[in-house]
Structure 1
C-alpha cells in the first residue's frame, strides 16, 4: 500500500518491531498488535504544539494488517521527534465477546517509549481536568529518534551482592516536593530532585533505592466522577497506564516526555555514581483502565481487552479482579507475558535500572481464568531470561484475591520476597506481646523455616517493619488505631491489624516520658531490622521520624502526610538520624550481619532456657566469627519487658573484652558509640524496652 496527500506520504511498513521505530530511510514505522476481531485501525497524529484536547488530529492514516499486527510506515510528514500519536480501533462483536472497541477514542500504543499527558492544557502535576469531549485523548504516545544517545559518562551500575543490600523505599515526588527541600520550585518532586539529594542517601548509608511506581500514570484518576476520593491526588502511582514510558510529570515542571526521560537517566547516573543501585516498584498486575463499571479506556482495554485482561464473558461485569483495583492483567497469556518481558528489558537497557519489585506479584501466578499456578510461565520466564540474569527480582507475594505465598513464592532460585511474617512478628515482640520470643528469634535469624529450601538464601527474605503502605515507624509507636478520616471513606480504608502501640498516649503528646519511650522503641525496631539475617528495607522518612498523624493509607495525599520534611531531618541530625545512619553503616561493615548462608550452631549461641514461657520477653544471643573474618563477636539482647533484666554475659573470645556499641536506653551520642566503649564485664543491666549490642574487641 502507498498513499499521500499534500502533507504526508506513507507505505504499508513492517509488522516488526511493535511500537514506533526509526527506519534507515528517514521514516517512522508503526506496528500494533490488536484483537483478531479488529476490523480497522487508524494512525492518528498530532503536532507537538497542538492542544490535542481541543483539536482533531493533524492527519489520520489507515493501517495495513499482517495477522493480528497492524502497521504503517510514514515516509514524509511525520517528524522523528516531538509528534504525538495514537490509534483508533474498530472491531466486530459486542459487549458479550469480552472486547471493548470504541472507534471514537484515540488510544495509546502499549509499546510507546514515551507518553505525553495533558501537556498543553495543564503543563504540570495534578491540575484538574477541564470539561469537554470525553473522547478527547488525555494521554498520547510519543517517541524520540532525533536526540543523541544519552551520555552515561562511563558511570556503570555499582556491583552489590544481594546479601549486602540495604534498601530504602522512596517516592520520587514526595522526596523533594516540600519547600523544605530547598530546591527551586520547578525541580521539587522531580527526578532531578532525587539526584540533587544523593548526598543524604550516602550519609544514611543505604546502597539500594526502591522507587515507588515511575511508569506513566494518571495522578488525577480520582477526579473523573464524583466519589469519596475526588479530593485526593494519586501520589503513590499504583495505577500504571504505560509499561514503557517514565512518568512525565516527575520531570521538572512543564517538561516534555523527552526531557523527562533524559532527566530520569540523569537521576540513575547520579545514584550509580554514588554507589547506589536503583530498583523500580512495578505494577504489572493491573492498570488504571479500571473495569466495566467505571471504565477508563485509553490503551489496552480498547485494543484487545480479552487478551490483556482476565475476563469472564458469562457475567455482566466481566473484568476479573484479584487486585482490588478493578481489573487483573492476563499475565500468563503468551503475548502478555512477552509484553511484560519486553517492558522489563526496556528499562534495563534504556534506563540502566538494577532490579524490580513486583506489586501484588501473586496475581502474576494465576492462569487466564484466575486459578493459581504452581509454575507460572511468566515468573519462570523472568527468572530465566539471560538479559535479566543480573537484575534483582523481588515479589510482593500476595494479591487481593487471597493468594498468599510468603515463603512459597515460585522462585527458580532468583526471586526474593517481601516477608510480611517478619514485619508482623517484629512489631508484636517489640511492642511487648506475649508468646512471641521463639518467632522473633526465627525471623531475625533469616526465617530459615520459610526459606531454607529450594536453594534459597537468607537474603531472599526482604525484611521490613514499615513500608509505604501502613504506619510509618514513628506512627507505629504513637497510635493504637488508624486515623484515616482525611481519606474521605469514614476511616473504613486501610489495614486494621497494625500491631502498633502508642506507648501510653494516642497521638501527639507533651509528656516527655512517653516521647522518650517512643524514640527508644523506634531505635529498638531499627536495631532489630539491621541485625537480622536477610535483606533489610527501610521506609523514606523513618530516618528522622516522619509522621502521617496516624493515617495508614496515604496514597492520595500530595502534602506533608507523604512529603519528606527536610527541616525535621535537620532537627534530628545529631539525635535519631545519627543513630539510624550509624546502625546502617554498622551493618554494612560487620560481616556477621547479612550472611550468605543460614546460621548454624557454630555461628550463634542462644542464651536462653525459657523458649516455651509465653511471659518471657527477653532474648539474648551471641553471633560468633566462626568463619574467621577477624571481626569481633557480637552479643545482642532485646528486652521487651517493663523492668530491667540483669543479664549474665558470656565470656568474650580469648584476649578480648566486651565493648558497648549500642544501648537504646541512653541519650545521644551514648546510644551508639562507633568505636565501642569498654567497661562492660560479666553482666549487663538491660533497660526496660531496650536493646544492646556488645562487640568483642
Structure 2
C-alpha cells in the first residue's frame, strides 16, 4: 500500500566519525535512551558481529562498525547521537559449514530479530541466498545491501490516555476471527484511503457492526511482518493470510493506511485503543513455530545468518537440513533459552506497548516440544505461567502440528483454551450429513467434556467453531461438495478434501429458491448450535454477510475479492443474518447455563435450577436407545429451566411435545426459519426440517 519511509535526521554523513561505546547486553534490539541507541544482538556461535548503518534510501551502507563487546553470547554497543529513524542491519561472521549446522555469511545484511519497524519488502533475488546458486556447498559472496530489508530504530511515544482493557470473562467471550485487509477492503461506508488497514478496523462503521453483532473480541490473522514465499512470488501470488513471519515485533506495514503523521505502529495502537473503548478485546494470531526463511534452499534474511544452529531445530543426523514439523520448511527452536526469550519478549511487547489482550498460537504443539516430544512441562509453558504480565491474557492453542504426536487436543495447560476441530466436524455431520448420534452431538454441545474436563479446567477451554479462515466459510459449506482451489495455481491439489460440506443439491451459486432456502436454513441451524453450545464460540468474519470464497477452501494466497468481504449488492449484508446472530448472542448471555463457565451436571442447584436437561421430541428424558440411535435427528435441550432449544436435523418436519410446566408458559423467542408463529400452540411445536426453534419460559 505505502512505503514506510523513516525520518532522515537519524542518518549519519559518510565523513562523520562514529565512536561506538561498549553499551549493554540488555535489552536486546535497538533501544533509544534520548541521547543515543544501544544495539544488542544474540549470536552464540559468531566470531564477529558488525553493525551496519544505511542512508534513508536503504541502498547505501554508510558505516560498518564492529561490536567489540560480547556478554553471554550477546554482542552489544552504544552509539551516541543515533536517533529514531536510523536504518540498520548486521553482518555476522563465523563458520559457513551447513553440514555442521552453521550458515554464517558476512556478505549478507541481516534483519535484527528485535526490529520494531522494517524498511523494504522481501523480493526474490539471488543476493539473498547464503549459498552459491550453482553449488549449495559454497558460500555466496554476492552482497545483498540493495535488496536486504533493514531494521528501523523506533522510539514512538503514544498517549494511551484512559485506555482500559475490557477483561471480558471467558464465560462471556464471543470471538470474531478476521483478516485486517479482507474485513474492510470493500466496505463502501469506509473512506477508500483507509480501507484494508488498521485504521479501518476501528472505523466507527466497523465498531457499530461489532456492537450490533454482540461479539466481545476480534481475533486478527497475523499482523507481524511477513514475507511472501519465493514459490508464491513466481506464481504471481501473495501469502495473504500472513503465516510466514519474518519479524515478531514489527507490525505488517502493508496494513497501514499511510496517513500523514502516523506509522504502522502508531496506527495499530490507535486501533487497539478504539476497540477497547468499544468494549472489544484484541487477540493476535501469532506464528512462533517457523519463520519466512523456509528450508535449506531458502533465503538468508535474519535468523539463519545470525546463528542457524541456535535459532532452528536441525536434523540430528544431517544438520544441513531442518526438522519440518510445520510443513513450512523449518522449526523455530523454542527450547533454546535465547529463542524462548525472543518469543517471550515479543509477547510482552505486544501486551505492554500495544495493549493487546491475548494470543492464538499457530501450530501450538511445537511450542511444547522438548527433544522432539510434546510435554506440558515444556519451558515455554512454564515461562508463560509464571509471567505476571502474560499470565492473565487470553491464550488459545491451535492444538496440532504435522510432527509425530502432533495432535494434542485437550492436552494444553489449564489456563489455555483450544481450537476444537472435533466440535466443527461433529456439528457439520449432524446438520449436513448422517452418522452422528445424539450422544456424540451432546458431548460436543456440552463443551466436549469428554476431551477437556479435568480438575480446574473450565468449559470455556473449548473454542467452538464451525468455520475458520482455513477451510470453507459458512456460505461455501452449504454451497459446495468439493473444493475449487484452481486460483491457487496448484491444480486443485491443495486444501483439505474432507470438508463435510453439502451443496444442497447444486454445486456453487444457484438461483433456485428452494436451494437458497435450504442453504439459509442449514446456515442458521449451524449458527444457532454454535452460539448456544457450552464453550467459547468463534465466528468467522463474513459468515454474517453470506460471503463466498467461490468454493476455495485454502485461500491463503488470494489477496482479492475471493477473500475480501462483500458488503454490497449480492451479499446478505441486508441484516438478516446479522440480526439473527445478534439475537442468539443475547440469548446466550441471558442464559445462566451458558454464562456461568461451570460444567453441566444435569442436577438441580440449591435454587432448584437445573443447568441442562436432554429430552427427546416427546418431552421424555433421553434413554440409552435414544442416545445411540444414529437415525435420531431431533432432540430438545432445556437450559437453566429457562430456554428450550428444539433441534431438528432431519429432512422432514418433526412434531415436538413440550415439557409440562408447573408455572408460567412457553413463548417463542427465535426460530431459524424466521417464522415465529406457525405450528406453535404453547404445548406443542412443529419444527421445520434442518432448523432450530428457541422457546423461553415466561412466568
* Fold in common (TM above 0.5): yes
Deviation at 1:270? 0.7
1:17 to 27, 35, 38: 27
Which string of whole-angstrom CA distances, capped at 9 and with x for unpartnered residues, describes residues 234-277 of structure 1?
11100010111111121114879x71100000000010000000
Distance 1:620 1:408 in 2: 27
Deviation at 1:8? 2.8
Report the aligned-residue RMSD. 2.2
The size of the alignment, in residue pairs, is: 652
Paired residue secondary structure (1:519): helix
* 2:250 aligned with 1:245: yes
Q: Is the 8 A contact 1:198 1:274 kept in 2?
A: yes
2:270 to 262, 266, 269: 266
Pairwise mapping of residues 362-373 of structure 1 onto structure 2 (< 5 A)? Answer: 362-367=365-370, 369-373=371-375
Distance 1:13 1:264 in 2: 31
1:188 counterpart residue number: 195
2:402 to 396, 400, 403: 400
Deviation at 1:323? 0.4
Which string of whole-angstrom CA distances, capped at 9 and with x for unpartnered residues, describes residues 192-246 of structure 1?
010112221111110100000000112465455x4xxx22111110001011111
Change (3 A) 1:159 1:316: closer
2:227 counterpart residue number: 218
Deviation at 1:681? 1.8
TM-score, with normalisation over the residues of structure 1?
Answer: 0.90
1:649 to 635, 642, 658: 658
Q: Is the 8 A contact 1:41 1:70 kept in 2?
A: yes
1:458 counterpart residue number: 459
Ranges in structure 1 where 5+ consecutive residues have no aligned partner: 119-125, 626-632, 672-676
Deviation at 1:22? 2.2
* 2:153 aligned with 1:143: yes
Change (3 A) 1:251 1:101: same
Q: Is the 8 A contact 1:658 1:678 kept in 2?
A: no
Distance 1:275 1:395 in 2: 24
Change (3 A) 1:223 1:60: farther
Pairwise mapping of residues 579-594 of structure 1 onto structure 2 (< 5 A)? Answer: 579-594=580-595
2:294 counterpart residue number: 290
Deviation at 1:571? 4.7
Deviation at 1:5? 6.0
Deviation at 1:405? 4.0
Q: Point out the more displaced range, 457-466 or 185-194.
A: 185-194
Deviation at 1:564? 1.4
Paired residue secondary structure (2:440): helix
Q: Point out the more displaced range, 397-406 or 167-176.
A: 397-406
Which string of whole-angstrom CA distances, capped at 9 and with x for unpartnered residues, describes residues 496-543 of structure 1?
111111111111111110110000000000000010000000001001
Q: Is the 8 A contact 2:612 2:638 kept in 1?
A: yes
2:117 counterpart residue number: 114
2:139 counterpart residue number: none
Paired residue secondary structure (1:421): helix
Distance 1:467 1:687 in 2: 28
Distance 1:395 1:435 in 2: 26
Deviation at 1:568? 4.9
Deviation at 1:646? 0.8
Change (3 A) 1:70 1:483: same
Distance 1:171 1:383 in 2: 29
2:546 counterpart residue number: 545
* 2:624 aligned with 1:620: no
Q: Is the 8 A contact 1:623 1:634 kept in 2?
A: yes
Q: Is the 8 A contact 1:458 1:533 kept in 2?
A: yes
Which string of whole-angstrom CA distances, capped at 9 and with x for unpartnered residues, describes residues 543-587 of structure 1?
111101111000000111111112159753342222122222322
Deviation at 1:595? 3.0
Change (3 A) 1:447 1:131: closer
Pairwise mapping of residues 402-421 of structure 1 onto structure 2 (< 5 A)? Answer: 402-411=404-413, 413-421=414-422
Change (3 A) 1:484 1:75: same
TM-score, with normalisation over the residues of structure 2?
Answer: 0.89
Change (3 A) 1:284 1:440: same
Q: Is the 8 A contact 1:96 1:313 kept in 2?
A: no
1:203 to 183, 201, 212: 212
* 2:52 aligned with 1:61: no
Q: Is the 8 A contact 2:525 2:692 kept in 1?
A: yes
2:137 counterpart residue number: none
Pairwise mapping of residues 589-608 of structure 1 onto structure 2 (< 5 A)? Answer: 589-602=590-603, 603-607=611-615, 608=622
Which string of whole-angstrom CA distances, capped at 9 and with x for unpartnered residues, describes residues 92-123 of structure 1?
251112111111111111112222224xxxxx
Pairwise mapping of residues 129-168 of structure 1 onto structure 2 (< 5 A)? Answer: 135-136=144-145, 137-145=147-155, 147=156, 149-168=157-176
Q: Is the 8 A contact 2:32 2:153 kept in 1?
A: no
Change (3 A) 1:223 1:458: closer
Q: Is the 8 A contact 1:457 1:597 kept in 2?
A: yes
Q: Is the 8 A contact 1:285 1:323 kept in 2?
A: yes
Deviation at 1:68? 1.3
Distance 1:171 1:306 in 2: 34
Distance 2:679 2:385 in 1: 49
Distance 2:493 2:598 in 1: 43
Deviation at 1:406? 4.5
